Chain A
């Protein structure tokens, strides 16, 4: 079939060239339209369920909302983890499905269960699903501030600023295709407030019950049917909606001795800010921070450009004092720097490949034909990206970077053989047609080309079996690599022979070795003549080197993935639970100013607490500070450590977690905790859980390399409880439910209606004024009801009001309560750190029955990923052995080729030890890739010995092996050099944005190729000379295996 393909290509040369041209054009158009992102889609299918439970404490939210919903969700097919957070008036449940689950199917299953769960939930409590999101979905932050200096003191107040953000900027941004949500925090949400005075209520002898009843109808339009007149009908509308403060003030709420009592008689009516549960700031000054989220699969870079264009269009319509800063956090910056970095390395790699080709081939035409494989394969791969729905990202580009060296290999072998045969043909007495010579020459080498490609494809199969984050990251790399490799195989079988037929004709000069090649061959002969008689010593030395290399492994650390360099940092500040928003804001502003003291910091933005529409159920004691850095300056790790120390010294008593936005999201996705290490304590009793978590914290706090250690903020917060005494309440004809409902309206408040200002809607909100609920004594004196005999029923008559404490939030995982002790790692590897922590916890912390500890985070993922990579890697090596055995039909030859793999590991381990000194999943992927590339060298060498014996009359001898080795020296060296040099830019790109994951892969491959190539030219001939005689002679005589 492959011969038919070569024949067809040569018979339809114009068609092949035209099709290639069409593919190049289509590929170029496709590549320009592909979405660009940092990473492949690494979002785990997760459905978020948010339930607002007004006025409930965390314990109530847990038992009345979270537990019933959880009980229905348990047992859903494909659910891997069920996490929940029960906070003040809010339940957030995260249902995490297996990787690969269709998110829309998952949402359908969850929705069905939510419908069922409603019957067990309190009235008016409705769980709703959050929108379909993406891990990398938070693409930009915008700070909207007001600058009085710009507008001569005409600054906007926080309410106006927030209204501008909500009603002018947000709607414009939401129209941009690809944006799923824009969440604003800070400023103040404008409300029409009715602040009722309890004292005035008393004076007018009105009760909350009456007020609640009357105000419920403050703003109503109804229809009056139709009026028929003069053969026409008129729609009758009854207008009662409130339009402004005056309308609200003039609303009747009751009668006092027959005289109407209006809202303005009992309440202050004003425009004010809704109760804040979150706030925002930019560079230490209050501001509205807008977070923009994209839809899954949308192009981040394009959306960012559209956002900036939209803001430019809006700018003239905004007040002069308003400053909109779109550069607070932009994921597009990271994407652009990462992608341009990798593209630069690809271009540089391609240039190096060309230089090597020219140095070895010393023929421009041959070099250009060979090099054609690179652009054609890349553009073919772009079309495959489109078909697979892949984006251009660091991993897919990384696949191409790794493939560059391999792409030209097939063409090198083909072009070199065609050139040799054409020259022989032109020198012969009866020259054959050029096309038939090219056909025969291409057919001659196709077997080794296909075999090598099959083996390399085999080693990449494990990548497609990896589950979890590592699978999501590396599978696109594998797709890109295999697509490019398949394209290069196709090119070598079609386009390369056709181009040879056009450009390698006429009188071809004898292809002489360059002086470099002559010198190398001379050296090779000397080395082999020394080594072949000393096989035991050579093999012993190789084994010794392998043992030494393996001996380095225990001295290397182990991590899940290399650390990213995102260009921005995210710092979480956690104050003691119960800290007010005002205090949390003060701490946050102080922290911002401290962070800004580092000269490398360009800007900071802060979000404290939770925005109104946000899915993150963060307490007001928690702040997240996004830090943007200038280019240059001290190393990032140094700056972050300085900030960490400065914050801890200046603001004692707060928890500090220094991370990066994307890494933080990845950590959160892996363990539900935004830190690299999560020690989860499970058990039923909150007090015991808190006790044990503090014991663990004390036991491990001085472990070297452990930073940002903190116990999850599940502490006790002060509460005022109003415990309704049922018997007392019944005595006054009040039920417990009635009392709590009235109290909710009075103390917590309720939105009664909306006022329309043009297209903007604002709530009309009713609540007791601050003075009426300023103290427990005042609350106790609240009049609930006036009895028929005129006696007033006060709150203290029917309830016990007291101060106490309660949890600020209750977190659960897989139906168990849990508290997390989290931490990050600095200057040490994760696995050894966790090992020490586990040892200390076992020694120092005693857990009672029903309580247990689980170690999660990147550590858990590292263990699973390593196990999977090693298992599937072993399977791949077994697969390589089977393919080789299938081809050579000899166990000895198969074993000799496979012996090149340990030789490659020597260099891979050695260079990794010299550079990173840490084994990650990325470096393991490098080792897997190395198995294929290294086997390829062995195949080229040994198959040529066999070729010499079978077709060129050589016998098994030392001279045959020297000749074979010398003839294969150039292709082997070229292949290795081309592959190594193409990856060299990545080897020197440690820690550069976008190269973080690819750098260790490149280090392992380059190191491995260096030793496998150098040792291969010595050890493989020595092994073959020592052990290969019998199997080679059997192979030549086709006596390998008995066949029927």
Chain B
């Protein structure tokens, strides 16, 4: 039994080393292709998409969502769709938000009713991408 445990331990160690190494290498490769760190053009919170960026500017209840290409230039509004949900901490279930497209951004609003923060979940679908991408932004309305 003791011998079996020792053999098993060595096996687990070898397998985990190989898998760990692969994961580590994959991570390095991914980092190589990762979008560059950029400053948010509108002063909000910016997160990367596969090919571009999304910036959220929150002022009080109002939310503005900007979508950019990989050079941080405005993305054509017609080529992108955005859906939004808000999740308050320690509550069950998200709240769907109404998103309207404007000339250069999407706009929405959410009343957090005094909560110190909520999570804004955006589903961004670019026509160039097969699937929508979900992004989470922490919004602190009182900041």
In whole Å, how far is A345's beta carbon from the nearest beta carbon of chain B?
49
B21 within 8 A of A: no
Mark A619-663 against chain B: 1 for CB-CB distance below 8 A, else 0. Answer: 000000000000000000000000000000000110000000000
Tell me, yes or no, whether A157 is within 8 Å of chain B by CB: no
Q: Are B43 and A689 in contact (CB under 8 A)?
A: yes
Complex Cα distance A174/B116, Å?
50
Interchain CB contact under 8 A, B36 and A653: yes
The answer, yes or no, to whether A115 is at the interface (CB within 8 Å) is no
Q: Does B63 contact A (CB under 8 A)?
A: no
Selected from B45, B117, B143, the residue in CB contact (under 8 A) with A802 is: B117
Is A800 touching B116 in the complex (CB atoms < 8 A)? yes
CB-CB under 8 A for A686 and B43, given A723-B116, A800-B89, A800-B116: yes
Tell me the chain B residues, 31-75 only, with Cβ under 8 Å from chain A: 36-45, 57, 59
Residues of B within 8 A of A716 (CB): 40, 45
Contacts of B39 in A (CB 8 A): 576, 690, 694, 711, 715
A-B contact pairs, 22 of them (CB 8 A): A59-B143, A576-B39, A652-B36, A653-B38, A687-B42, A687-B44, A687-B57, A689-B43, A690-B39, A691-B42, A693-B43, A694-B39, A694-B40, A694-B42, A715-B39, A716-B40, A716-B45, A721-B117, A723-B116, A800-B90, A800-B116, A803-B138
* A695–B59 CA distance with the chains assembled, in angstroms: 19
When chains A and B are docked, how far (Å) is the Cα of A700 from the Cα of B59? 27
Whether the pair B116, A804 counts as a contact (CB closer than 8 A) is no
Distance in angstroms from A757 CB to nearest chain B CB is 41
- Which residues of B are found within 8 Å of A695, using beta-carbon distances? 41
* B129 surroundings in chain A (CB, below 8 A): none
Contact indicator B43/A694 (Cβ below 8 Å)? yes
Is B134 close to A, CB under 8 A? no
Residues of the A chain whose Cβ atoms lie less than 8 Å from the Cβ of B42: 687, 690-691, 694
Asked if B36 contacts A691 (CB within 8 A), the reply is no
Q: How many of chain A's residues touch chain B, expressed as a range?
A: 20 to 34
Q: Of all chain B residues, which has the CB nearest A652?
A: B36
Q: Is B28 an interface residue when CB atoms closer than 8 A count as contact?
A: no
Q: Write the chain A residue with the least CB distance to B116.
A: A723
Cα A59 to Cα B89 with chains together (Å): 22
Check A805 for interface membership: any CB of B closer than 8 A.
Answer: yes
For B39, the closest partner residue in chain A by CB is: A715
Return the contact of A685 from the options B40, B59, B117, B138 (Cβ within 8 A): B59
- Judge if A838 is at the interface, Cβ distance under 8 Å: no
B140 within 8 A of A: yes
Q: Are A691 and B138 in touch, CB under 8 angstroms?
A: no
Chain A residues within 8 Å of B, Cβ to Cβ: 59, 576, 652-653, 685-695, 698, 711, 715-716, 721, 723, 800, 802-806
B140 touches A804 (CB 8 A): yes
Q: Give the residue name and chain of the B residue nearest to A693 (CB).
A: B43
- Residue contact B36 to A802, C-beta cutoff 8 Å: no
DSSP majority for the A interface?
A: mixed
CB neighbours of A694 from chain B (8 A): 39-43
Of the candidates A576, A686, A800, which one forms a contact with B117 in the assembled complex, judged by CB atoms under 8 Å apart? A800
A800 to B90: give the CA distance in the assembly, Å.
9
Contact between A802 and B41 (Cβ–Cβ < 8 Å)? no
Closest-CB distance, B13 to chain A (whole angstroms): 20
The 7 closest A-B pairs by CB, nearest first: A690-B43, A691-B43, A804-B138, A687-B43, A691-B42, A576-B37, A694-B41
| B interface residue count range (under 10 / 10 to 19 / 20 to 34 / 35 or more) | 10 to 19
Q: What residues of B have a CB within 8 angstroms of the CB of A803 in the complex?
A: 138
Q: How far does the alpha carbon of A139 sit from the alpha carbon of B71 in the complex, in Å?
A: 44
B43 near A802 (CB under 8 angstroms)? no
Residues from chain A with Cβ under 8 Å of B41 in the complex: 691, 694-695, 698
Instruction: Flag if B37 contacts A805 (CB, 8 Å).
Output: no
**Given that A800-B117, A802-B138, A804-B138 are contacting pairs, would A690 and B37 also be in contact in the complex, using a CB cutoff of 8 Å?**
no
Q: Separation in Å of the B141 CB from the closest CB of chain A?
A: 12
Bound together, the chains give a CA A721 to CA B116 distance in angstroms of: 11
- Whether A802 contacts B44 by the Cβ 8 Å rule is no
- For residue B83, give the distance in angstroms from its CB to the closest CB of chain A: 22
Q: Which of A687, A689, A693 has the most CB of B within 10 A?
A: A687
B92-129 residues at the A interface, CB under 8 angstroms? 116-117
A728 to B, closest residue via Cβ: B90
Q: In the bound complex, how far is the Cα of B42 from the Cα of A653, in angstroms?
A: 18
Residues of A within 8 A of B59 (CB): 685, 687
Task: Find out whether the CB atom of A805 lies under 8 angstroms from the CB atom of B116.
Answer: no
Chain B residues whose C-beta falls within 8 Å of the C-beta of A692 in the assembled complex: 43
Chain A residues positioned under 8 Å from B57 (CB to CB) = 687, 691
- A804-B117 in contact given A689-B43, A694-B42 (Cβ < 8 Å): yes
- A115 → chain B closest CB, angstroms: 32
Partner of A653, one of B37, B89, B116: B37
A721 to B119, alpha carbons, bound, how many Å? Answer: 14
Contacts of A685 in B (CB 8 A): 59
For A802, list chain B residues within 8 Å (CB).
89, 117, 138
Residue of B nearest to A575 (CB): B37
Compute how far the CA of A755 lies from the CA of B140 in the bound complex, rounded to whole angstroms: 44
Q: How far is the CA of A462 from the CA of B117 in the complex (A)?
A: 61
Bound-state CA distance A800–B117 (Å) is 10
Q: How far is the CA of A59 from the CA of B140 in the complex (A)?
A: 13
- In angstroms, Cα B59 to Cα A104, docked, is 45
Contact with A along B2-44 (1 / 0, CB 8 A): 0000000000000000000000000000000000111111111
Query: Please, which residues of chain B bring their CB within 8 A of the CB of A691?
Result: 41-44, 57
When C-beta atoms are compared, the residue in chain A nearest to B139 turns out to be A804
Which residues on A sit within 8 Å (CB–CB) of B36?
Answer: 652-653
- The residue that A723 contacts in the complex, of B37, B43, B44, B117, with Cβ under 8 A, is B117
By beta carbon, the residue of chain A nearest B36 is: A653
Docked CA distance A802–B40 (Å): 21
Known: A711-B39, A715-B39, A800-B89. 11 other contacts (CB 8 A): A653-B36, A687-B43, A687-B59, A690-B40, A691-B42, A691-B44, A695-B41, A723-B116, A723-B117, A800-B90, A802-B117
Tell me the bound Cα distance from A694 to B55 in angstroms. Answer: 14
Most buried by B among A685, A690, A803: A690
Q: Which residue of B lies closest to A725 (CB)?
A: B90
Distance of A805 Cα from B143 Cα, bound (Å): 11
Which residues of chain B are within 8 angstroms of A576 by Cβ–Cβ distance? Answer: 37, 39
For the complex, what is the distance from the CA of A805 to the CA of B90, rounded to whole Å? 20
Say how far B45's CB is from chain A's closest CB, in angstroms.
Answer: 6
Identify the closest chain B residue to A800 (Cβ).
B89
Nearest Cβ on chain B to A710's Cβ, whole angstroms:
10
A715 vs B39: C-alpha distance when bound (angstroms):
7
Interface centre among B39, B42, B90, B143 (most CB of A within 10 A): B39
Smallest CB–CB gap between B81 and chain A, Å? Answer: 24
Which A residues lie within 8 Å of B40 (CB)?
690, 694, 715-716
**CB proximity of A753 to chain B, nearest CB, Å:** 37
Least CB distance, B124 to chain A, in whole angstroms: 19
Closest CB in chain B relative to A709 CB, distance in Å: 13
Closest to B45 in A: A805
* Nearest CB on B from A4, distance (A): 76
Compute how far the CA of A105 lies from the CA of B57 in the bound complex, rounded to whole angstroms: 47
Chain A residues near B90: list those with CB within 8 A: 800
Q: In the assembled complex, which residues on chain B have CB atoms less than 8 Å from the CB atom of A653? A: 36-38
- Which chain A residues border B37 with CB–CB below 8 Å? 576, 653
CB distance from A34 to the nearest CB of B (A): 51
Contact partners of B117 in chain A: CB under 8 A = 721, 723, 800, 802, 804
CA distance A687 to B58 in the complex (A): 9
Q: Roughly how many angstroms separate A725 CA and B26 CA in the complex, as a whole number? A: 40
Using CB atoms, name the residue of chain B closest to A711.
Answer: B39
Min CB gap A651→B, angstroms = 12
Cα–Cα, bound, A647→B41 (Å)? 23
Give which listed residue, B43, B89, B140, contacts A688 with CB less than 8 A.
B43
Q: Smallest distance from the beta carbon of A49 to chain B beta carbons, Å?
A: 26
Which of B39, B43, B117 has its CB near the most chain A CB atoms (within 10 A)? B43
Complex interface: chain B residues within 8 A of A800 (CB): 89-90, 116-117
The complex places the Cα of A687 from the Cα of B42 at a distance, in Å, of 7
Shortest C-beta distance, B39 to chain A (Å), equals 6
Measured in the bound complex, the distance between the Cα atoms of B90 and A653 in whole Å is: 38
B89 partner residues in chain A, CB cutoff 8 A:
800, 802
